[in-house]
């Protein structure tokens, strides 16, 4: 019994010590100071979305977003550590400061802005509607998709846009299919279970080619905000510094260079 | 032939995640086993209050999806205690498993004939000693077949820890699927590894079951 009690005390002591460590290191620069003191910027991403973020054959995290954030880290003077997790968990991870920032081709939206702060946009993307190659469906504008079964990736703005716009216009809730990853949705289009897959335009071309689908429409009508880096709320110094660095990279043409390198329009 | 070569490369890549899967599974099953045995014993032999507590614990935890337990532990509890994703994922699975395992062990304890307890008491053993030396050794043997079920379930549930960023077999398969756009190959290879792991675990438990069979 005695050893058990000692063990319990030890656990509590360890817990206290650890939480005390977590609270230390606040300086004038706030969270930014903490990151600099630590010497590491912990970056959350969801590495299943090439060309933005993926894992190469050697097991390295690669992609446009990750090259960009590594450059940001370099200019902050810190190492960059990538933490991969499910896209749905990323916002919570920033809120709980499990990661310092998130870069995951994530766009701003009012719902997300209630929970985290965003940097200035570093890239504006378009959305794409995919159908089977022999589909008779004619899509000239995004709203033409109303009334047809449609697949989206869970937790994305395409999902939100579908709920906000297509559902009131005649698509029933049962016709909206949500997938963990876009390639699963592509398989269901191919199999004829859904008529349309609605995703970010950048991976759409490669995906369509691979699965023998057709990119029926590429549009920016559905895009509400640019892709931004997410960070904890109220950390103004951190946001200012990241925005400054992004501006610097933009004016040096570095972001365009990275886009070209990764084949992102 | 090229297909087989791809598959082999893929399996090698996924095998690196197998250690993580096994680590999570072993920690979860061990935690679940220790807590589960205590809960089951408390449920059957404890005071009314203890018995009620264990019943509620088992009811609540089994009602909550495992993935929610993982999120709660990682995002809420770990606010106070700095747990790595690996540890908090493993412990969350262990907590979930402890509820299921407590029911497995409760069933096993109940199925030990009541006369055993009476006889142990009659020869002068304390209640605790009777549980420790007479009831549990028999109950644990009886629990092996249903427990192997739980072991297989936890092995596959271990893939859920990917949501908080632990790259085990399934998450690695997702990386490959996203890169190569070949989901069938990637997930097929993952399924093969899961099959082998489950097969070996169950064979090992079968052996344990035969080795410690009760001659009743």
Q: DSSP characters for B165-202?
A: T---HHHHHHHHHHHH--HHHHHHHHHHHHHHHHHHHH
Tokens of B63: 């009602």
Domains recognised in chain A with CATH numbers? 29-124+226-262 (3.40.190.10), 127-219 (3.40.190.10)
Q: Which pLDDT value is given to residue B71? A: 92
Segment B4-13 shows an average pLDDT of: 86
Residues B166-213 have pLDDT tens digits of 999 999 999 998 888 888 899 999 999 999 999 999 999 999 999 998
Residues 148-167, chain B, touching A (beta carbon < 8 A):
162-165, 167
**CA nearest A82 in B: which residue?**
B165
What is the Cα–Cα distance from B192 to B173, expressed in whole angstroms? 12
Residues B36-89 have pLDDT tens digits of 999 999 999 999 999 999 999 999 999 999 999 999 999 888 778 888 899 999
Residues of B in contact with A85 (CB under 8 A): 85, 162-165
Residue B216's pLDDT band (cuts 50, 70, 90): low
Is the pLDDT at A9 greater than 50? The verdict is no
Is the pLDDT at A25 greater than 70? The verdict is no
* CB–CB contacts below 8 A, A to B: 75
**CA nearest A17 in B: which residue?**
B81
**How many domains does one find in chain B?**
1
Q: Which residue has the higher pLDDT, B33 or B164?
A: B33
ipTM of the complex: 0.80
Question: What CATH number corresponds to the domain at position B93?
Answer: 1.10.3720.10
What is the Cα–Cα distance from A30 to A39, expressed in whole angstroms? 14
Q: Which pLDDT value is given to residue A4? A: 45
Instruction: Specify if B185 maps to a domain.
Output: no
Residues A96-152 have pLDDT tens digits of 999 999 999 998 888 899 999 999 999 998 899 999 999 999 999 999 999 999 999
Number of Cβ within a 10 Å radius of residue B101: 28
Taking phi over 0 as left and psi of -120 to 50 as alpha, with beta for the rest, B111 belongs to alpha
Segment A30-49 shows an average pLDDT of: 94
Helix (H) or strand (E) holding A80: strand A79-84
What domain range includes position B107?
Answer: 21-167
Q: Are strands A150-153 and A196-200 parallel, antiparallel or unpaired?
A: parallel
Q: Which pLDDT value is given to residue B61? A: 96
Residues of B in contact with A47 (CB under 8 A): 175, 178
What is the Cα–Cα distance from B82 to B77, expressed in whole angstroms? 9
Instruction: Specify if B199 maps to a domain.
Output: no
The total number of residues written for chain A in this structure: 265
CB contact under 8 A, B181 and A18: no
Sign of torsion, CA A62 A64 A67 A68? negative
Nearest CA to B71 out of B88, B51, B54 is that of B88
Does residue B186 belong to the interface with chain A, where contact is any CB pair within 8 Å? no
Nearest CA to A227 out of A127, A111, A121 is that of A121
Nearest CA to A46 out of A142, A140, A156 is that of A156
What is the residue-averaged pLDDT of chain A? 88
Q: Which residue has the higher pLDDT, A24 or A79?
A: A79
Is the pLDDT at B122 greater than 70? The verdict is yes
Mark out chain A residues that contact chain B at CB-CB < 8 A.
15, 18-19, 21-22, 44, 47-50, 54-57, 59, 83-86, 88-89, 92-93, 95-96, 98, 181, 183-184, 187, 206-207, 210-211
- Give the CA dihedral A252, A256, A257, A259, nearest 10 degrees: 150
Q: Which pLDDT value is given to residue B168? A: 93
What is the Cα–Cα distance from A223 to A226, expressed in whole angstroms? 8
**Letter string b/e over residues A150-188, b meaning 16 or more CB atoms within 10 A of that residue's CB:** bbbbebbbbbbbbeebbeeeebeeebbbebebbbbbbbb
Segment A231-257 shows an average pLDDT of: 96
Instruction: Specify if B138 maps to a domain.
Output: yes
Interface test with A, best of B181, B183, B187 (most A CBs within 10 A): B181
**CA nearest A86 in B: which residue?**
B163
Instruction: Give the nearest partner residue to B164 out of A22, A85, A207, using CB atoms.
Output: A85
**CA nearest A14 in B: which residue?**
B81
Instruction: Specify if B180 maps to a domain.
Output: no
**CA nearest A88 in B: which residue?**
B163
Q: Whole-model pTM?
A: 0.79
Residues B142-167 have pLDDT tens digits of 999 999 999 999 999 999 999 998 99
Instruction: Give the nearest partner residue to A92 out of B16, B75, B174, using CB atoms.
Output: B75
């Amino acid at each position: 019994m005695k050893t058990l009690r000692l063990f319990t005390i030890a656990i509590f002591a360890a817990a206290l010590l650890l939480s005390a460590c977590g609270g230390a290191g606040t300086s004038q620069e706030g969270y930014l100071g903490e990151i600099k003191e630590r010497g590491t910027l912990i970056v959350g991403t969801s590495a299943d979305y090439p060309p933005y973020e993926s894992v190469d054959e050697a097991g390295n995290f690669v992609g446009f977003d990750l090259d960009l954030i590594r450059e940001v880290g370099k200019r902050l003077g810190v190492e960059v550590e990538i933490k991969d997790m499910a896209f749905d968990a990323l916002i919570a991870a920033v809120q709980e400061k499990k990661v310092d920032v998130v870069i995951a081709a994530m766009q701003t939206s009012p719902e997300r802005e209630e929970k985290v702060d965003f940097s200035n946009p570093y890239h504006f993307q378009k959305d794409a509607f995919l159908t089977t190659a022999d589909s008779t469906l004619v899509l000239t504008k995004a709203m033409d998709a109303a009334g047809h079964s449609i697949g989206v990736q869970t937790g994305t703005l395409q999902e939100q846009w579908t709920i906000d716009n297509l559902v009131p216009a005649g698509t029933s809730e049962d016709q909206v299919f949500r997938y963990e990853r876009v390639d699963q949705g592509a398989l269901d289009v191919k199999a004829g279970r859904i008529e349309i897959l609605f995703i970010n335009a950048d991976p759409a071309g490669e995906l369509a080619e691979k699965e023998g689908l057709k990119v029926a429409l590429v549009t920016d009508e559905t895009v509400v905000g640019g892709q931004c880096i997410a960070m904890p709320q109220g950390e103004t110094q951190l946001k200012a510094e990241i925005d400054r660095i992004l501006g610097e990279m933009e004016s040096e043409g570095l972001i365009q260079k990275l886009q070209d390198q990764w084949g992102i329009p | 032939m090229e297909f087989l070569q791809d598959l082999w490369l893929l399996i090698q890549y996924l095998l690196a995640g197998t250690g993580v899967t096994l680590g999570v599974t072993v920690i979860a099953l061990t935690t679940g086993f220790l807590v589960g045995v205590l809960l089951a014993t408390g449920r059957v032999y404890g005071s009314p209050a203890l018995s009620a507590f264990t019943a509620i614990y088992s009811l609540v935890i089994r009602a909550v999806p495992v993935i929610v337990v993982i999120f709660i532990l990682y995002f809420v509890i770990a606010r106070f205690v700095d747990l790595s994703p690996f540890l908090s994922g493993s412990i969350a699975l262990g907590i979930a498993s402890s509820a299921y395992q407590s029911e497995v062990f409760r069933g096993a304890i109940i199925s030990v004939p009541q006369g055993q307890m009476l006889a142990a008491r009659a020869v002068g053993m304390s209640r605790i000693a009777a549980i420790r030396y007479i009831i549990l050794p028999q109950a644990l043997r009886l629990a092996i077949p249903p427990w192997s079920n739980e072991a297989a379930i936890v092995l596959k549930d271990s893939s859920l820890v990917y949501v908080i960023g632990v790259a085990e077999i399934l998450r690695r398969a997702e990386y490959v699927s996203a890169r190569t756009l070949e989901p069938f190959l990637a997930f097929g290879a993952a399924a093969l590894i899961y099959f082998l792991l489950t097969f070996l675990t169950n064979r090992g438990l079968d052996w344990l079951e035969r080795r410690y069979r009760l001659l009743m």
